[in-house]
Amino acid sequence: MRLFVAVPVPEALGRALFDAARPYETNLPLRWVPLENLHLTTLFLGDGWTPAQAEMLALRIRAGLPELSAFEAPVEAIDLFPDGRNPAVLAALFGRNLMLQALHDEVWQLLKGVEGVDKPRQRFRPHISLARPRGRPATPPSAVELADADLWLPVEEVVLYRSDFRPEGVRYRPLARGRLA
């Protein structure tokens, strides 16, 4: 099974992010992520997990993150990610947010003792995937800056999710929730 740990996105914020991202539809065909699937991944765990291993991870997640207090993270922009030339997704971006980095580090510390949890290979770049481009834009559109939009992600919990692959598309099922202090 494929597992990851993420911060869920509230419905109201998700709708606001979709609205802010609509200008991209004029230059680039997009396949939107279902609203209920929106999340900010803090640690991708990958494929091949057994139910017993998933339960061990769930036990750790349920213990929560007592070293971190709940906080809000401002969404800075919407842009193609990781870049405009080879976009994997259209995403809401957070920039170099120290609190989100601390959350990533704490989740890693919480889970690193579980067999099969490997050190992340890539640098943590916090984002919420909103849509998948169909093709590449001839000219990448400019980022939609959101500094004045006052859009904030409440970070009160992390969730261990399982990816369920279905004919109609992937759905993410929560297996365990852990609160921040």
- The residues that are catalytic are 39, 127
The whole-angstrom distance between residue 98's C-alpha and the CA centroid of its chain comes to 16
Q: How far apart are CA 115 and CA 53, in angstroms?
A: 8
Q: Beta partners for 153?
A: 73
Q: What is the DSSP string of 77-102?
A: EEEEES-SSS-SEEEEE--S-HHHHH
Q: How far apart are CA 100 and CA 13, in angstroms?
A: 17
Q: Beta partners for 161?
A: 4, 174
